[in-house]
Amino acid sequence: MTPAGSTPDLWRLDAARTRSVSPENPTGVRGGGAQATEGTGAHASRLLGPGWKVSPSISLAPGETAVLADVSGPGVFRHFWLTTDRSVLRQLTLRMHWDDHPHPAVDLPLGHFFCNGWEELALLGSEMLVVAPAGGLNSYWPMPFRARARITLHNGSDRTVPVYYQLTYTEEDLPADAAYLHTEWRRSAPLGTPAVHTILDTTPGPGRYVGTYLAIQPGADGWWGEGELKFYLDGDTTHPTLCGTGTEDYFGGAWNFDLAGVYRTYSTPYLGLHQVLPPNEIYQAHQRFGMYRWHVRDPLCFQEDLRVTIQALGWSDPETYLPLEHADIATTAWWYRG
């Protein structure tokens, strides 16, 4: 099962047609852009008229839900860019419905979709997601749909916010095994006993697990990342098929992320520790961390079902593990299935 468009051949000419949805072309229809006569830029463009940035954004009031895209398929979303008030990324809810399914395949706080689960903006440069100065949110996850795609944003904050966005997709036929993008967002605060957080509850296959974002506040001094990530595949019950060697190892780091007594952030195409708050401290209970891993080159494939967990584990002394029962953990899982 391969996500449509996951490895495009840029040199090929095919029958696909590129379309884009934005406040300047809400339907994405061919030739439908730059015709607005009203919008958030109407005053600034009053001397210039249509075609001069009349409607670059929308205003989203408290409690309101905006339809960012509602388009017919078949097609594949290729790029999703959005920017808004950075202080409310966790109060905005992003939802994506594929093919009129009654339940959204994507339903989570906007910040967590873009690996920003804390109140301070974290820049990120990877193949699948990019967070650029000063709050440009970019997704390159390919998102196929057959009959219809509907993407909405809900404002759960207490103030009106501006939303600038553009969603670019291709109209094209899909292979029979094209799979849909799904996410699952979960938070445990405090984690409690046992100190195990479920990243993805059992989901049916066949499918392909492609990404993990972890936001954690350990709740205890000392090193906090001894916990193993476990992937229970295809009927696994007590024991998983895949079991990692530690949290920092799963996210591509080593030795506590500690280099000369400080945490060192990094952001690479497929994994990173891109946020440490505050950055000038180490081994403190109140610190907050953000990290990601994309299983693009190393997909985790399952046929029957999949469940994913992570332990919150530190040290009580140099020879004894410490379950972190007071940890605050939030995760996002990305996977494809039919």
Rounded to an integer, what distance in angstroms lies between the CA atom of residue 163 and that of residue 102?
26
Per-residue confidence (pLDDT) for residue 44, from 0 to 100: 86
Q: Model's pTM, two decimal places? A: 0.95
- How far is CA 216 from each of CA 79, 177, 254, 333, rounded to the nearest angstrom? 28, 36, 17, 15
Residue 46's pLDDT band (cuts 50, 70, 90)? confident
Query: pLDDT digit string (tens) for 219-273?
Result: 999 999 999 999 999 999 999 999 999 999 999 999 999 999 999 999 999 999 9
Residue 10 pLDDT > 80: no
Phi, psi dihedral angles at 44 (to 5 degrees): -65, -30
Amino acid at 174: L
Q: Is CATH 3.40.225.10 the classification given to domain 17-177?
A: no
Least confident window among 6-10, 14-18, 25-29, 191-195: 6-10
Return the H-helix or E-strand segment holding 124: strand 124-125
Q: Which two tokens stand for residue 9?
A: 């051949």
Q: Hey, which residues does 201 pair with through a beta bridge? A: none
Residue 35's pLDDT band (cuts 50, 70, 90)? confident
Per-residue confidence (pLDDT) for residue 1, from 0 to 100: 66
Mean pLDDT, residues 56-80 taken together: 97
Tally the residues of the chain: 338
Paired sense of beta strands 129-132 and 124-125, if any: antiparallel
Q: Which two tokens stand for residue 236?
A: 């696994």
Instruction: Look at domain 181-337 and name its CATH class.
Output: mainly beta
Rounded to an integer, what distance in angstroms lies between the CA atom of residue 224 and that of residue 206?
34
Return the H-helix or E-strand segment holding 58: strand 58-60
Query: pLDDT digit string (tens) for 104-118?
Result: 999 999 999 999 999
- Half-sphere exposure of 92 toward its Cβ, with a 13 Å CA cutoff? 27
Residue 7 pLDDT > 60: no
SS3 of 207, please? strand
17-177 and 181-337: identical CATH topology? yes
Per-residue confidence (pLDDT) for residue 15, from 0 to 100: 84
Per-residue confidence (pLDDT) for residue 13, from 0 to 100: 74
More confident residue, 286 or 13: 286
Per-residue confidence (pLDDT) for residue 8, from 0 to 100: 61
Residue 19 pLDDT > 90: yes
Instruction: Map out the domains of the chain as residue ranges.
Output: 17-177, 181-337
Query: pLDDT digit string (tens) for 145-190?
Result: 999 999 999 999 999 999 999 999 999 999 999 999 999 999 999 9
Quote the mean pLDDT of the chain. Answer: 95
User: What percent of the chain has a predicted confidence (pLDDT) above 70?
Assistant: 97
Per-residue confidence (pLDDT) for residue 42, from 0 to 100: 82
Residue 6 pLDDT > 80: no
Mean pLDDT, residues 36-47 taken together: 87
Residue 9's pLDDT band (cuts 50, 70, 90)? low
Per-residue confidence (pLDDT) for residue 28, from 0 to 100: 93
- Neighbouring C-beta atoms of residue 189, cutoff 10 Å: 12
Q: Is the CB of residue 107 less than 8 Å from the CB of residue 182?
A: no
